[in-house]
Structures are given as C-alpha cells and as structure tokens.
Amino acid sequence: MSKPKHIHILGICGTFMGGIAAIAKQAGYRVTGCDANVYPPMSTQLEAQGIELITGFGIEQLELNPDIYVIGNVVTRGNPLMEEILNRNLPYVSGPQWLSDTLLRDKWVLGVAGTHGKTTTASMLAWILEHAGLNPGFLIGGVPQNFDISARITESPFFVIEADEYDTAFFDKRSKFVHYHPRTVILNNLEFDHADIFADLTAIETQFHHLVRTVPGNGLIVSNGREQSLERVLKRGWWTPVETFGNNEGWDIDADNHITLNGELQGVLHWDLMGEHNRMNALAALAAARHAGVPVTLGLEALGQFKNVKRRMEVKGIVNGITVYDDFAHHPTAIATTVAGLRHKIGSARILAVLEPRSNTMKLGVMKDALPGSLKDADRVFCYSGNLGWDAKGALAIMGDKAVVIDDLDALVKVIATAARPGDHILVMSNGGFGGIHDKLLKKLA
C-alpha cells in the first residue's frame, strides 16, 4: 500500500487553513502543520483528527520532509521556515491553490462571496443541499450548528465554499475566491472592507470581476439586485446567466416572508431568524440550491430547520432577566444590521451594545466615522478601546452620554454590569474572543 501524500501547513490555526487541514485528512492525506499560536478551539479540533501541530516556524520542521508545503496568508517574508523553503527551492503552494488543484477539481463548486453574510449564507446553502439528500462537502468560516463542524469532504459532486475576497498568500495577491472556479456563485453584497489590503472600493470590485470571469457559461451568478457596486462589477462583462434577488425582479421576499421568483409565488419561509439581512441570505441560498437541482419547496423546508452559525446572535446566557448575546459583527454595516435585527425582535426593551473594534480595517480607523450611525438603534453603547490606534472617544463623542469608551476590560465589564437591569439585552460584537467578556459579564451579573 502506497504511503499517503504528506502536506505540511504553515499557519494551520486560522479558520480557513484549519478547514483545509481537516478535509485533507479526511481525503487520506498525512497532515502536519505549524502556527505562531497553537491554542483551542482550533488546536483541539485538529488534534482530535490526528493532525500533528507544532508551535512556531522553526526550520527543524524541514526534517518532516513533506511532499509539499501549503502556505497560509498569515505567513510573510522573513518567516524563518518560509525563508528556508525558498532558499532550498522546496515545493510550496497557497492554501486556496492546493485546495482547488487537489480536492475541488472534479466538484460542482458553489461559492458564496460578499462583504457580509458569507458564513451564514454558505451554511444555509450547505444545509439545504444536505436536507435534499445531496450530502455536500463544505468549507465554511464558522461552525454551522446543523453540522457542528466547519469543513468536510464527501463523495458528493457538490461542494459549498465561503469565497473570501481576502488575498491568497504573500506570493499571490489575488483574492482567494479566484482559485475556486465555482459553477454556482452568490454575490451577496459588496462594500469597502479590508483596508489593510485594498486601496478603495474599485479595487475590490476588480477582484469580484476576476471571480465573475471564472464562472462557466453553464453556471449561474446569483447577485444582490440592491447593490450598485455589484451592478458595476457585472457591467464590466459577464458570460454566465444571472439571477438577481431582493429587487422586485428575479427573487424577492415580502414582509410576510412570501418568496417570489419573477413575480410568481414559490412558497412561504417559516423560521426563527431575525433581520432583513438573513431574509436576503435565504433568497440567495434558495436560488443557488435551485441551480443544483433542489426544488424551492424543499429549500424552504430546510430553512425552517436552519439553526444558524455559532457567534451569530448566539445567546450566551440569561441572568436575572438580562440576556447576553455574542455576535461576529465588526463592520459598521454588519453592526447596524445586527442591532436593527435585535431591535425588531425585542421591541422597546433596552439594548446595551458592547463593541470591540478589532478587525484590521477597524484598527486602522477607516470606518470610525460610520460607527455612531451604525449604533443608533442601541440605548447604550460600551466600546473597548484597548490596542486601538485612533481616538474611539472622539469618534463616539457625537453620541454624548449614551456612549462609554474604556480601555480596560475588567473596568468595562464592571460598568456594563452596573448599567444593566432586568429585561435588558446585552449585545456583544467582535470578530475575536474579546477576552472572554461574555462569561465575565454573566458572572458579574449573577
């Protein structure tokens, strides 16, 4: 029996590279990997699958002698292991390229792209295909609660992937999604983000058009009809049928969740999810699943059982009548949508919004002027300003006494707990762990 091919992954503990590691292992590869910080939950997940993890990027790892080194976009020039790989002219490839060449080559790839909602929409789509008995593989940047894993490979031809516009690797500055060659692609929305790698919105639109150029003529582009940015992308040229959603043409949904396609009723969506953004996500997922052969009625049935993704308005606990939520929102548009969704659900009860601006874009302060507007539906705002390179207090000053900015986490927890009263909803928003603030709050409230 021939020994399994061996890949060594640099930067294995990121969500995406960890997902690649998991499905490579499932596909029969020997997988080892390293990262600067090897810690739970990703380290635990990977070790449970028999993947050997090494802390740091020491050159002694070359002794593993893998068939190829798979490089995550966290790795830069100057990284000691990468430098030695280059010096010795050893074979290396980016994560997206390796995935495309080895595991996606014979798959019907369904890609979900957009500034917001990729994880949720990809999870909805994977679940619809699963419910329809199509047993899809998937690689998603979060944990869909209908599956409890973020990545898997199956015998099925269908593979759902969260198609990210972030750059591929230090040696490949194209967006990750150009590598996936989807037959079905969702363009969910498009706004300025990732200020650390894109100069402006036009630069991101160019990458989205690179993606459009890769979709075959027998494929389908499902595009948000409300977004002028996506309209501009498609005006640059398209070679694939396009179905729009959310704009009275193509796919649409009304206030009572009646779904129509070209004006004809397809069915009614019965579910527990909040917010207009999730209704739009549902339209996109239904359209993409229909292209893969799933009737809309079956898609609606699946969405009725959809459990969302961890860290999407996830209730962490209720203490003394006070509910604490965890949400991944970190871009002003996502913050506004999340707060509005909660407001719609709870009516006039108080929302205490707790924010950690920690994405690369937020740390640069590019979006700071949009923050007060995005938080307008909250009754009180508590912002953590630790490690910020800009003046959060100044940015939120327009909100007056409604906003508090504190740079010490324990002090922040104390102030929030003192302000909270029974019936309040504390909405914690961050794209990181936020120092375990949820548990600290629940303990303090008790």
List residues bridging with 355 in a β-sheet: 383, 429
Q: Are residues 56 and 189 in the same domain?
A: no
Question: Are 16 and 72 in contact, with CB atoms under 8 Å apart?
Answer: yes
Q: Which residue has the tokens 């906003």?
A: 403
Q: Give CA–CA dist 188/288, Å, rounded.
A: 11
Supply the CATH number for residue 228's domain: 3.40.1190.10
Omega into 41 within 30° of 0, i.e. cis? yes
For residues 160 and 112, the answer to whether their CB atoms sit within 8 Å is yes
Q: Is residue 1 part of a domain?
A: no
Residue 309 within any structural domain of the chain: no
Q: CA-CA distance, 73 to 106, in Å (whole number)? A: 25
For residues 325 and 426, state if they share a domain: yes
Give the Cα separation of 149 and 163 in Å (integer).
18
How many Å apart are CA 18 and CA 28, to the nearest integer?
16
| C-alpha to C-alpha distance for 397 and 248, rounded to whole angstroms | 40
Residue 115 shares a structural domain with residue 37: no
Domain stop point among 303, 328, 345: 303
Quick one: 348 exposed, middle or buried, by C-beta within 10 A (0-12, 13-18, 19+)?
exposed
Residue 204 lies in a domain: yes
Domains of the chain: total: 3
Distance of CA 228 to the CA centre of its chain: 22
Cα separation, 379 vs 400, whole angstroms: 12
> In the 8-state DSSP scheme, what is residue 332?
H
Q: 279 and 180 in one domain?
A: yes
Residue finishing a domain among 69, 97, 125: 97
**Is 141 in the same domain as 23?**
no
pLDDT at 195: 57
333, containing H or E segment? helix 332-346
Give a yes or no: residue 308 inside a domain.
Answer: no
Residue 363 is encoded by which pair of tokens?
């740390």
Whole-structure pTM over 0.85, yes or no? no
Q: Which domain holds residue 31?
A: 6-97
The secondary structure of residue 430, as a DSSP letter, is: -
Helices of type H across 188-295: 201-213, 228-235, 276-291
Low-confidence ranges of the chain (pLDDT < 50): 1
Residue 409 lies in a domain: yes
Residue recorded with tokens 């209908």? 146
Kindly state whether residue 12 falls inside one of the protein's structural domains.
Answer: yes
Say whether both 281 and 318 belong to one domain. Answer: no
- The label of the residue with tokens 């699958």 reads 49
Report the CATH number at residue 23: 3.40.50.720
Same domain for 115 and 18 = no
Q: Of 303, 332, 347, which closes a domain?
A: 303
Per-residue model confidence as pLDDT tens digits over 41-100: 678 888 888 999 999 999 999 999 999 999 999 999 999 999 999 999 999 999 999 999
Tell whether 116 and 264 lie within a shared domain.
Answer: yes
Can you tell me the distance from the alpha carbon of 419 to that of 413, in angstroms, rounded to the nearest whole number? 10
Q: Are 179 and 52 in contact (CB under 8 A)?
A: no
89 lies in the same domain as 112: no
8 A C-beta contact, residue 106 and residue 153:
no
Distances (CA, A) of 23 to 138, 139, 173, 310: 9, 8, 24, 20
pLDDT for res 275: 78
- Domain co-membership, 418 together with 270: no
State whether 297 and 194 are in the same domain: yes
User: Which amino acid does the sequence have at 190?
Assistant: L
Same domain? For 76 and 123 the reply is no
pLDDT of residue 68: 97
CATH code, domain with 323: 3.90.190.20
In a domain, 404, yes or no: yes
Among residues 112, 334, 66, which one has the least CA distance to residue 245?
A: 112
Q: Residue 199: is it exposed, middle or buried by C-beta count within 10 angstroms (0-12/13-18/19+)? A: exposed
SS3 341: helix
